[in-house]
C-alpha cells in the first residue's frame, strides 16, 4: 500500500487515520524481530527489555508513517498554502479581471488603474504595469523599426451615413453598394443590419498595407463598439493590420475625448491621424490633422457645407493626389527621420519633435501679412491661422515691407491686397493656409485667388 495515495490522511475522520496507524504499527511490530528470536530468550527478566525494544520500535514506526504520509501531503499542502499566502502578500496586483488580481487571484476591494476592455472584457491595468508593458513593447517595435499609428475612422478613413439620410440624388448608390458579407473588394458597402451605408476613402487599402510595414496600427473612433468592429471588418477583413487594437468611445476614460492612456504605446513614439483636433486636447503634438472626407450629402450638411457632395456629383477624391496618398508620404518621412537620424539611441528620440521639425519646413522662407481675416480688435497672433502659419515655418507680421511674400485676404479691395498685386506678391485667400496645413506641402497659390470686389 502506498501511504501517499492510499492513506486516509486526506480524510476528515481522525478515527480512520488512527486505525490506519494502529494497523501499520501492528503489522510492523509482528515482524519486527527475526524468526526464532523468542526461543533464544531464557528467562522472564528479558521480557522488560523486549517490551522497551518493541515500544521504541513502535515509536520509530509511527514517526516513519507520519513522515511519509503527512510529509508528502499535509506538510506539502501547508508549505504550498504558506507560499501562496506569501505571494499574495508580496503581490503588487498589476491588474485585474473584474475584482480579482490577474497575478495572484486575490479579490481586490477597490478598482484602480485604467480599463483596457478592448483587449479583454473586464481587464484593468495599474500604472506601473502599463509603464512596464509600454517599455517592453517599445523596445520590441524599435527592433523592428516600427512606430505606433492611431487612426480615426469617420471622415478620416471612410464616410458613413444612415440610409434614411440618402437624398434622391444618392438613391443610385443602393444598386452599386456591395454586401457586408463580401468586404474584400469594393469601396461602397450597404450595412443593412445597421441601416447604414459606408464609403471607404480612396487609396485607403493601399494606405493601410504600406503603413502596416512602418507602424503598429490602432483604430480609435468616437463611434460605439459594434460600429468600430463593423468598420474594422471593412478595412481589414483578414485581420492583418489591427488585430484587437480597436478602441471605441466605450473604452475612453474621458467623455467626448480621446486619449493615449488606453493605447499601449509610449507617447514619444505615437502618431495620430484624425480630422478633429479638439478630440485630442492632451495630445496635439502627436496629431497629424486630416482634411475631412465628405462623400455623402448628410456629411456635408453636418458640418455646414452648402454644396454638392461627391456622391451627388458622382465623383470622388483623387486616389493618387488625395489626402491619404499625400499623408502616407509624410508618415514615411517622419519614420525615416526618426530611425535614420545619426546620434542617440532611437529609444531616446521623440516623434513629436520630428513632427515639429518636418512641419516647419513646409512654409519656410515665407512672410505673411493678413488683411481683413481677423475680427476687428482681435489680437492677431492669437488667431488659429496665424499660429498654423508659424507652425508651418512662416513668419507673420501686421505690417507690409519688401520682405513680405504673401498677403492672405478675404477682400481684393483692401489696401494690403492692392499692394500685393502692385508689388507682385502672392495674394491668396485663407484656404491656402488650411490646405497647406492639411497636405503638409505648399499648395499652388494660383488655386486660391481672392475674389475681386468693387472699390467703394
Helical H segments across 72-212, by residue range: 74-90, 127-143, 173-176, 204-211
Query: Quick one: pLDDT band at residue 346, thresholds 50, 70, 90?
Result: confident
By percentage, how much of the chain surpasses pLDDT 70? 79
Q: Do 179 and 225 belong to one domain?
A: yes
What is the model's pTM?
A: 0.78
For 114, the domain range is 95-125
Q: Quickly tell me which residue has 498685386 as its cell.
A: 421
What's the pLDDT at 66? Answer: 44
- Pick the more confident residue, 395 or 93: 395
CA–CA–CA angle 159, 211, 213 (5° rounding): 150
Q: Do 120 and 162 belong to one domain?
A: no
What's the pLDDT at 60? Answer: 53
By percentage, how much of the chain surpasses pLDDT 90? 66
Q: What is the pLDDT of residues 14-27, one digit of tens each?
A: 444 444 445 544 55
Q: Do 262 and 208 belong to one domain?
A: yes
On whether residue 61 sits in a domain, the answer given is no
Q: What is the pLDDT of residues 40-58, one digit of tens each?
A: 444 555 555 555 554 555 4
Q: Do 152 and 111 belong to one domain?
A: no
Q: Do 162 and 101 belong to one domain?
A: no
In the Cβ-directed half-sphere of 399, how many Cα atoms lie within 13 Å? 1
In the Cβ-directed half-sphere of 4, how many Cα atoms lie within 13 Å? 7
Among 304, 338, 372, the domain-final residue is: 338
Q: Which residues pair with 368 in a beta bridge?
A: 396, 406
What's the pLDDT at 93? Answer: 86
Query: Containing H/E element for 173?
Result: helix 173-176
Q: Do 205 and 301 belong to one domain?
A: yes
Q: Tell me how far apart the alpha carbons of residues 385 and 379 are, in angstroms, rounded to a whole number.
A: 12
- 211: number of Cβ within 10 Å: 22
Q: Report residue 318 as a C-alpha cell.
A: 483623387
Q: Do 225 and 327 belong to one domain?
A: yes
Query: Quick one: pLDDT band at residue 37, thresholds 50, 70, 90?
Result: very low
Q: Poorest-confidence range of 10-14, 354-358, 405-409?
A: 10-14
What's the pLDDT at 9? Answer: 37
**What's the chain's average pLDDT?**
84
Q: Quickly tell me which residue has 515639429 as its cell.
A: 356
Q: Report residue 329 as a C-alpha cell.
A: 508620404
Q: Do 198 and 274 belong to one domain?
A: yes
What's the pLDDT at 15? Answer: 45
Q: Do 215 and 334 belong to one domain?
A: yes
Q: Do 158 and 279 belong to one domain?
A: yes
- Pick the more confident residue, 178 or 166: 166
CATH number of the domain where residue 401 is located: 3.40.50.10190
Residue 285 has pLDDT above 70, yes or no: yes
Residue 70 has pLDDT above 80, yes or no: no
Give the DSSP letter string of 222-248. Answer: SS-HHHHHHHHHHH-TT--S-TT-EE-
Q: Tell me how far apart the alpha carbons of residues 171 and 162 are, in angstroms, rounded to a whole number.
A: 12
Number of domains in the chain: 3
Amino acid at each position: 500500500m502506498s501511504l501517499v495515495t492510499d492513506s486516509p490522511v486526506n480524510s476528515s475522520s481522525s478515527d480512520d487515520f488512527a486505525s490506519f496507524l494502529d494497523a501499520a504499527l501492528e503489522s510492523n511490530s509482528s515482524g519486527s524481530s527475526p524468526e526464532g528470536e523468542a526461543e533464544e530468550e531464557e528467562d522472564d527478566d528479558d521480557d522488560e527489555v523486549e517490551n522497551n525494544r518493541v515500544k521504541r520500535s513502535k515509536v520509530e514506526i509511527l514517526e516513519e508513517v507520519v513522515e511519509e504520509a503527512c510529509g508528502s501531503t499535509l506538510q506539502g499542502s501547508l508549505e504550498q498554502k504558506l507560499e501562496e499566502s506569501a505571494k499574495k502578500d508580496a503581490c503588487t496586483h498589476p491588474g485585474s479581471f473584474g475584482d480579482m488580481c490577474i497575478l495572484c487571484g486575490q479579490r481586490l476591494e477597490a478598482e484602480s488603474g485604467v480599463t483596457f476592455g478592448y483587449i479583454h472584457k473586464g481587464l484593468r491595468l495599474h500604472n506601473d504595469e502599463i509603464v512596464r508593458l509600454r517599455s517592453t513593447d517599445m523596445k520590441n517595435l524599435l527592433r523592428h523599426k516600427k512606430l505606433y499609428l492611431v487612426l480615426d475612422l469617420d471622415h478620416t478613413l471612410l464616410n458613413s451615413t444612415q440610409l434614411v439620410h440618402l437624398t434622391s440624388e444618392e438613391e443610385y448608390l443602393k444598386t452599386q453598394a456591395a454586401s457586408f458579407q463580401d468586404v474584400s473588394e469594393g469601396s461602397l458597402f450597404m450595412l443593412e443590419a445597421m441601416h447604414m451605408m459606408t464609403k471607404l476613402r480612396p487609396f485607403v487599402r493601399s494606405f493601410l498595407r504600406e503603413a502596416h510595414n512602418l507602424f503598429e496600427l490602432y483604430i480609435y473612433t468616437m463611434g460605439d463598439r459594434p460600429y468600430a468592429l463593423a468598420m474594422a471588418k471593412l478595412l481589414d477583413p483578414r485581420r492583418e493590420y489591427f488585430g484587437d487594437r480597436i478602441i471605441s468611445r466605450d473604452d475612453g476614460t474621458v467623455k467626448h475625448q480621446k486619449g493615449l492612456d488606453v493605447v499601449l504605446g509610449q507617447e514619444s513614439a505615437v502618431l495620430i491621424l484624425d480630422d478633429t483636433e479638439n478630440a485630442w486636447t492632451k495630445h496635439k503634438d502627436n496629431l497629424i490633422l486630416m482634411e475631412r472626407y465628405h462623400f455623402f450629402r448628410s456629411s456635408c450638411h453636418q458640418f455646414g457645407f452648402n454644396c454638392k457632395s461627391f456622391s451627388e456629383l458622382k465623383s470622388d477624391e483623387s486616389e493618387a493626389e488625395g489626402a491619404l496618398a499625400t499623408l502616407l508620404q509624410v508618415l514615411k518621412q517622419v519614420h525615416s527621420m526618426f530611425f535614420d537620424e545619426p546620434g542617440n539611441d532611437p529609444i531616446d528620440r521623440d516623434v513629436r519633435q520630428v513632427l515639429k521639425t518636418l512641419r516647419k519646413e513646409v512654409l519656410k522662407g515665407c512672410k505673411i501679412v493678413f488683411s481683413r481675416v481677423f475680427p476687428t480688435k482681435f489680437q492677431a497672433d492669437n488667431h488659429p491661422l496665424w499660429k498654423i502659419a508659424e507652425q508651418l515655418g512662416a513668419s507673420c507680421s501686421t505690417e507690409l515691407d519688401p520682405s513680405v511674400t504673401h498677403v492672405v485676404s478675404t477682400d481684393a479691395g483692401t489696401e494690403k491686397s492692392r499692394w500685393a498685386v502692385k508689388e507682385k506678391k502672392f495674394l491668396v485667400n485663407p484656404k491656402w493656409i488650411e490646405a497647406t496645413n492639411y497636405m503638409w506641402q505648399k499648395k499652388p497659390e494660383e488655386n486660391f485667388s481672392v475674389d475681386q470686389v468693387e472699390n467703394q
